[in-house]
Amino acid sequence: MGRRGGRGWHGRVLTAAVGVTAVAAAASVWTAQAGPVAGEDARPAVSARPAVSAHPAVPGARPQDPAAAPVSADIVHASDRGARGVNITIDDGPDPVWTPQVLRVLRDNGVKATFCMVGTQAEAHPDLVKAVVAAGHRLCDHTVSHDTAMDTKPESYQSRQILDAEHMITRASGGVRPQYYRAPGGAFTPYSRRLAASRGMRPLGWNVDTKDFERPGTAAIVATVENQVGNGPTVLFHDAGGDRSQTVAALREVLPRLKQRGYSFGFPVR
């Protein structure tokens, strides 16, 4: 979801212990991108630290699986389609009512998106996770219970939230791993970014917060995207957590409009 201060998303928190040793030997530690980009703008810049010379194999990962290889811990916003690229990202699902409708609009417009899934939702709706993957979209770890205050919690808690959700999403998808990690409400920490990156999940920010979770009206959502897309390529929508009819309607309007303005749709750079 969007910045902290929006509505919360509450779910159960897994309590099974998960080791955090992978992050101790994480690959290069990067600073967060400079500038007022959402997903990190309320937090001070992270100081650079020396890179670690080696990284252990990711437990359970296959060498040929590109999603398993360690990636940068820098929060990404850029699109793989370049300066005129747009990344559509969909948070908080999957949801049995709204995710199929979002998928239909994306299919009708020939657009691929990144779905940032909550672990408990993925576990409850594995058919929808598989449908997202089958349609050519990418998966993103959005933690187990969407705790927007997780950056104030112990590292052991952050680890459980991230790693348990990764496993839940991977199981639900039939073995396809999340390629990104998005902290709830932008509540990244240096630790959580390094941990996600060590598992092959690039930390993912956003540039345009549509505020669709506040249900401001379809026209307002469309206007926000059109007015702010010049600020950066990654646009935040939601497909769960309440009535998302305005989101579906806004996507139906704004996707063809962006195409008419010369934008193309891609994925966040990994």
Residue 79: its pLDDT value, please? 98
- For 52-65, letters b (16+ CB in 10 Å) and e give eeebeebeeeeeee
The pTM score is 0.79
Residue 13: its pLDDT value, please? 34
Of the pLDDT bands very low, low, confident and very high (cuts 50, 70, 90), residue 54 is: very low
Mean pLDDT of 219-228: 98
Residue 67: its pLDDT value, please? 74
CA distances from 22 to 42, 55, 124, 215 (A): 28, 9, 28, 40
Catalytic residue among 74, 77, 91, 147: 91
CA distances from 139 to 64, 166, 168 (A): 18, 10, 12
Instruction: Return the percentage of the chain with pLDDT > 90, whole number.
Output: 74
Catalytic-residue membership of 91: yes
Q: pLDDT at residue 87 above 70?
A: yes
pLDDT in tens, 122-158: 999 999 999 999 999 999 999 999 999 999 999 999 9
Residue 49: its pLDDT value, please? 27
Mean pLDDT of 36-57: 32
Domains of the chain, earliest start first? 23-36+71-266 (3.20.20.370)
Catalytic-residue membership of 238: yes
Catalytic residue among 137, 142, 167, 238: 238
Query: Strand 138-141 to strand 180-181: parallel, antiparallel, or no bridges (unpaired)?
Result: parallel
Quote the CA–CA distance of 168 and 8 in Å, as a whole number.
21
Quote the CA–CA distance of 133 and 7 in Å, as a whole number.
28
